[in-house]
Amino acid sequence: MGKATGFLEYRRYEAEDRPVEERLKDWNEFHNRLPDIDQRIQGARCMDCGIPFCHTGILYQGMAMGCPLNNLIPEWNDLVYRGRWREALARLEATNNFPEFTGRVCPAPCEGSCTLGYGDRPVTIKNNEWAIIEKAFAEGWIVPRPPQFRTGKKVAVVGSGPSGLACAAELNRAGHWVTVFERADRIGGLLMYGIPNMKLDKAIVERRVKLMEAEGIQFVAGVDVGKDYPANQLVEEFDAVVLCGGATKPRDLSGPGRELKGVHFAMEFLKANTQALLNSEETPLSAKDKDVIVIGGGDTGTDCVATALRQGCRSVNQFEIVPQPPKERAADNPWPQWPKVFKADYGHEEAMYRFGSDPRHYCISTKRFEGDANGNIKAVHTVEVVWEKDSENRWRFTEVPGTEKVWPAGMVLLAMGFLGPEDYLLEQLGLERDSRSNVKTDADKYHTSRPGVFTAGDMHRGQSLVVWAIREGRNAARECDRYLMGGGSCERYRGESD
């Protein structure tokens, strides 16, 4: 695939991001794209490896290897190199409903497993994917494709994040009448309110939603199933229900002062900012002129840093209780696993530009929050920790005496991940839960303990990536379709054997 000697002739090259000093002044996307001819050269680097891992999508020792969607990466890299863009689009759409989302926000586990990445820099798989789908939209190749027939079956999808949208798209393509319920005021779930505009412009989300509407999917926003709409009534009114509500119960940080004003969950902060932007109003949760502390890392923590900077914070620091990752792969993190290495994301680069230092601080434990006379947060008390293995070979941390520190804080954002799905909807339906409180199903199945009710995405597998959510939504749609039709019309519609 690609050019046989492409990886020997061409180095990895990506379009430079918008300059930091420019992008900090607005909320526009910060990534740029290469011209088509340069992107074709990047496609040429796909090295025709004998055993490609980029598209495997499996877990090895708990770590992901390759694309969970099993994207046909070598095939469309070759087609990009040859300038056969429309054929590349067909290969891409065969496995991915929303390349415009993954091409922007996916961390690209495919590149972590690229064979070329073993001793060189991997192929620009993510950028090639992005280039294919955006060229397709620009050329008018992406048009509504309603199903050729209707089965008469009605399916309700609860949640309009990536898993819900992918599930709805597949079920609609199979000919079922699909209604998607979303409790927020806009469709998109995590894509709309969990990812800031500078990473994923909301016009891109709305573009896809409008396309799906034109294909026959009905979207109902502002309806919280389980509160506004009784869950059992939903089951009675539809032939099947697929729950894609996400793992939206945030991990909290208990301790003195947690009740102080100015301590917020990260998603509360990010959603308020995006809503304000879309409504052309001031956000009720502004970091302007405040010392901001972000507790927790990951993409959400980085997004909080970047958002606070654009709001005009006075300072920003980010705490991680775990040690700093190594600069190179550790011995227990071999290729083709995802590389757990230290790197600066966009928000960290922006903070370094604004304040002259990396905002991240590792091996820091938050002890308590301190408030002023009016009940507002004014400081965070921390202590450094050291990690060691105990007698049972488990990692434990202990505090380091004499390392206590007080940090000024006018806003604290908790970005420590999620504990699972919220309870009220699942309790109404009487669904079984697993040991992590996720909705329980048989292995590699998506049917819950209640007949006709399915689940997918973070609600099913726990907090994960957009690309995993899309995979879950597609697979749940297939299982739901089998339940409704006694076969696999999703597969037959795609021309695959049942």
Q: How confident is the model at residue 312 (pLDDT cuts 50, 70, 90)?
A: very high
Where would I find the H helices in 215-345?
231-237, 266-279, 298-311
The answer to whether residue 85 sits within a structural domain is: yes
Please tell me the predicted confidence (pLDDT) of residue 497: 35
| Distances from the Cα of 388 to the Cα of 188, 384, 393, angstroms | 42, 14, 9
Cβ-Cβ contacts under 8 Å for 12 (sequence gap 6 or more):
42, 45, 120, 121, 122, 123, 124
Last residue of a domain, one of 385, 416, 447: 416
Residue 492 has pLDDT above 90, yes or no: no
Q: How confident is the model at residue 489 (pLDDT cuts 50, 70, 90)?
A: low
Q: What range defines the domain where residue 237 resides?
A: 154-249+419-493
Please tell me the predicted confidence (pLDDT) of residue 426: 97
Residue 13 has pLDDT above 60, yes or no: yes
> Do 167 and 315 belong to one domain?
no
The answer to whether residue 147 sits within a structural domain is: no
Condensed to tens digits (0 to 9), the pLDDT of residues 195-204 reads: 999 999 999 9
The answer to whether residue 146 sits within a structural domain is: no
Please tell me the predicted confidence (pLDDT) of residue 2: 75
Vertex 14: Cα angle to 11 and 19 (nearest 5): 135
The answer to whether residue 387 sits within a structural domain is: yes
| Distances from the Cα of 171 to the Cα of 53, 58, 147, 194, angstroms | 29, 25, 10, 25
Please tell me the predicted confidence (pLDDT) of residue 495: 42
**Total domain count, the chain:** 3
The answer to whether residue 120 sits within a structural domain is: yes
> Do 33 and 132 belong to one domain?
yes
The answer to whether residue 148 sits within a structural domain is: no
Residues of the chain above pLDDT 90, percent: 89
In the 8-state DSSP scheme, what is residue 106?
A: -
Cβ-Cβ contacts under 8 Å for 100 (sequence gap 6 or more):
130, 133, 134, 137, 204, 207, 208
> Do 277 and 403 belong to one domain?
yes
Q: How confident is the model at residue 1 (pLDDT cuts 50, 70, 90)?
A: low
> Do 272 and 244 belong to one domain?
no
Please tell me the predicted confidence (pLDDT) of residue 58: 85
> Do 265 and 208 belong to one domain?
no
Residue 441 has pLDDT above 70, yes or no: yes
> Do 220 and 313 belong to one domain?
no
Please tell me the predicted confidence (pLDDT) of residue 490: 63
Last residue of a domain, one of 94, 115, 139: 139
Please tell me the predicted confidence (pLDDT) of residue 189: 97
> Do 465 and 425 belong to one domain?
yes
Q: How confident is the model at residue 47 (pLDDT cuts 50, 70, 90)?
A: confident
Residue 498 has pLDDT above 50, yes or no: no
Average pLDDT, the chain: 95
> Do 265 and 344 belong to one domain?
yes
Residue 470 has pLDDT above 70, yes or no: yes
The answer to whether residue 27 sits within a structural domain is: yes
Please tell me the predicted confidence (pLDDT) of residue 215: 98
Condensed to tens digits (0 to 9), the pLDDT of residues 385-425 reads: 999 999 889 999 999 999 999 999 999 999 999 999 999 99
Q: How confident is the model at residue 61 (pLDDT cuts 50, 70, 90)?
A: confident
The residue count of the chain comes to 498
